[in-house]
Amino acid sequence: MPSKLVDKYFRTDSLPHIWCPGCGNGIVTRAIVKAIDNLNLNQEDVCIVSGIGCSSRASGYLDFNTIHTTHGRALAFATGIKFANPNLHVIVITGDGDCAAIGGNHLIHAARRNIDLTTIVFNNNIYGMTGGQYSPTTPTGDKGTTAPYGNIDANFDLCELAKASGATYVSRSTVYGANMIIKQVEEGIKNKGFSFIETITICPTYYGRKNKKGDAVDMMNYLKENTVNKIAYEKLSEEKRKDKIIVGEIYKGQRPEYVEEYEKIIESF
């Protein structure tokens, strides 16, 4: 018998899930559900939209209105859903490849519009489902099956991208500090506008193995030791800032929300 939380919000007949041993995706998925539970949202009023990839399998395990869409297009589907029913809390679950590569344009335009969606990116630094190809967030120099001698691309800072594109809530957390994910998802859902939450998750099977990062516990310890809050980061010397993962609220702003602006036009006739 699973926990009350899992029993209430998961399609328990599909558990155990297929994510690899030690994969952090399950931690993030639980954190999202916990945040929804903390906010006392009605299950019928929540819609989970996901794209393609390891992360995006989450929608299949969750017992809300859910839709598992095409690669990179979760935000496009979510935009349509939000327009059709603005009362829904639309939550988008996506991965680094789904959101930053093939879905990169959808991301920047959803942020530009400041449409009231909550986007949670499971960033595991690699394409796990297809066998470990490097993604836009694979750190420079790290290896993937398509970068056997090291990745020469510069990796995206997704939070800075979302912020620059116009998102009104931007934050980052890691699966080690899962309580922070819960808090940030709550904040993201409460924010009337485009919320972008990057969660750094672990992929021991592909990213970990390819880059000799050790097992799941070693990767969790790496997150524990290399995470620094944004406020503390600003006080660090240049030398100590190297390779640190900045977590916490990266940006919070206020701009007109897209669906509301659209409704104003409709009402003006």
Partner 1 sequence: MLENTKLKLVVEKEFCKGCGICVAFCPKDVLILEKGKVKVENLDACIQCGQCELRCPDYAIYLGGN
Q: Which positions lie near partner 1, rule CB under 8 A?
A: 1-6, 10, 15-17, 19-27, 30, 175-176, 178-179, 204, 215-217, 220-221
Between CA 35 and CA 33 the distance in angstroms is: 5
The 10 Å Cβ neighbour count of residue 80 is 12
**CB closer to partner 1, 167 vs 202:** 202
- Shortest distance (Å) from residue 34 CB to partner 1: 9
**CB of 31: closest distance to partner 1 in angstroms?**
8
Is 55 strand, coil or helix? helix
Helix axis angle for 258-267 and 74-84, nearest 10°, is: 40
- Residue 107 CB-density burial (10 A; 0-12 exposed, 13-18 middle, 19+ buried): buried
Q: Smallest distance from the beta carbon of 128 to partner 1, in angstroms?
A: 13
H-helix or E-strand spanning residue 191: none
Rank residues 26 and 193 by Cβ distance to partner 1 and give the closer one: 26
CB of 183 to partner 1, least distance (A): 12
Smallest separation (angstroms) from partner 1 to the CB of 172: 18
Identify which of residues 85 and 179 has a Cβ nearer to partner 1 in the complex: 179
- In angstroms, the CA 121 to CA 114 distance is 17
Nearer of residues 18 and 231 to partner 1, judged by Cβ = 18
Pick 177 or 188: Cβ nearer partner 1? 177
The label of the residue with tokens 């310890």 reads 221
- For the bound state, the minimum distance from the C-beta of residue 109 to partner 1, rounded and expressed in Å, comes to 32
Please name the residue ranges forming H helices in 70-113.
74-84, 96, 104-113
Residues sharing a CB contact under 8 Å with residue 201, sequence separation 6 or more, in sequence order: 23, 24, 25, 27, 28, 55, 122, 123, 124, 174, 175
Which C-beta is closer to partner 1: that of 27 or that of 115?
A: 27
Q: Cα dihedral angle (77, 80, 82, 86), rounded to 10 degrees? A: -160
Comparing CB distances to partner 1, the nearer of 30 and 210 is: 30
For residues 12 and 71, the answer to whether their CB atoms sit within 8 Å is: no
Shortest Å distance, C-beta 259 to partner 1: 34
